[in-house]
Structure 1
């Protein structure tokens, strides 16, 4: 399973958040693309339109389980994808910003 640590990510790296809507609304990484795992197959085209053609897709969820499933699917599709170890829990613990859609400080639930 291709994996990356939160501390290895740079500002501007492409993030795909696969958490459910209530988790996203509570707080997320600014600029991430949100496609809940429960809707992922139906909305796959949104990822292919938004993802950089020659860049990596960094997949994140709350703790790494759901994002691991999506990462494996993407790798099978020939996409350069990695799972973010520890997910949003590690993101928040590393001091990375967590925001709401309104731009306010968010929380990871």
Structure 2
């Protein structure tokens, strides 16, 4: 299985945690489902995580079940979380980096977020 053509998503909801793994078909925009799981949710209420340990356990079990079905291990995934508490804010920050010829450091990232 070509790992560059794999896409995955985890839906974290109040009633279930679902994981879906798809493989993008060569030469088309179709995605074939190669792994899926749905496990009753725990630690999530009204779209908010109220018990991180319970929610984490169910998320891990859901991902592992989908990975077993697909026969692969995920290295990255999209995470979907809904609810009335979700909001977004557009912002723009600019700062000088500590070493312009080097890597951006965690401190550089912290300063731009605060800008």
Give the TM-score taking structure 1 as reference length. Answer: 0.27
- The answer to which structure, 1 or 2, has the higher relative contact order (CA under 8 A, 6+ apart) is 1
What is the TM-score with the length of structure 2 in the denominator? Answer: 0.26
Indicate the structure with greater strand content. 2
Larger gyration radius, structure 1 or structure 2: 2
